[in-house]
Amino acid sequence: MKRTLAIALALTLAVSQFVSLAAQAQLVGLISGTMSGPAGPLAGVTVNVVNAAGTVVGSAVTTATGSFSVGSLAAGTFGVQAVSAAGAVLSTSAATLAAGAMTATVSMTATAAALAGAAAGAGAAAAGAAAAGGAAAATGISTAAIVSGVAAAAGAAGVTAAVATKEDASPSR
């Protein structure tokens, strides 16, 4: 009798562990969506999913069609932020994942003003790098080094830098 009771208790505990694992497996959620601007889908935008404590719990980069997907999320309410390469928040949304509804879809749109503000901030960073490059040129640093510095600063700011060079025809050369 004691042995039967011990086996029944062991089986009950084992089954309850499997039920608990199955319940946990169902509580993994996914937030997906699209990011667009005035001219259509926005590619290369970072989308951060932020929990109620303000911690980024997942992120993705939008595809050429502006779509994104962030998975492995627990149940809860999340802020969804689209962020430019320069760090400017372009758009925000909210999504809730709950037992029985562990997927959410959001559509986010960046206004022309938000995109212009992000571009202006990135342009200012690139201009600052160019000014620093001009000062470096006065001290004898090569044009290639300056162009490389401007390109690196522009890339870090999330913009493309176009630099034109022309041979110096001055008599001092």
Q: HSE (CB half, 13 Å, CA atoms) of 25?
A: 6
Q: What is the pLDDT, as a whole number, of residue 94?
A: 97
**Terminal alpha carbon distance of the chain:** 104
Strand partners, 87: none
Q: Cβ neighbours of residue 21 under 8 Å, at least 6 residues apart?
A: none
Measure CA 106 to chain center: 15
Q: What is the pLDDT, as a whole number, of residue 157?
A: 46
How many Å apart are CA 8 and CA 2, to the nearest integer? 10
Which residues does the chain have with pLDDT short of 70? Answer: 1-2, 4-26, 121-170, 172-173
Question: For strand 56-61 and strand 29-37, is the pairing parallel, antiparallel, or unpaired?
Answer: unpaired
Q: Cβ neighbours of residue 12 under 8 Å, at least 6 residues apart?
A: none
What tens digit of pLDDT does each residue of 53-87 get? 999 999 999 999 999 999 999 999 999 999 998 89
Contact between 26 and 102 under an 8 Å Cβ cutoff? The reply is yes
Q: What is the pLDDT, as a whole number, of residue 18?
A: 47
SS3 76: strand
Residue 4 tokens read as 């039967």
What tens digit of pLDDT does each residue of 162-172 get? 545 556 566 76
Q: Domain 28-110 class?
A: mainly beta
- Could you state, in order of their start, the residue ranges of all structural domains in the chain? 28-110, 115-157
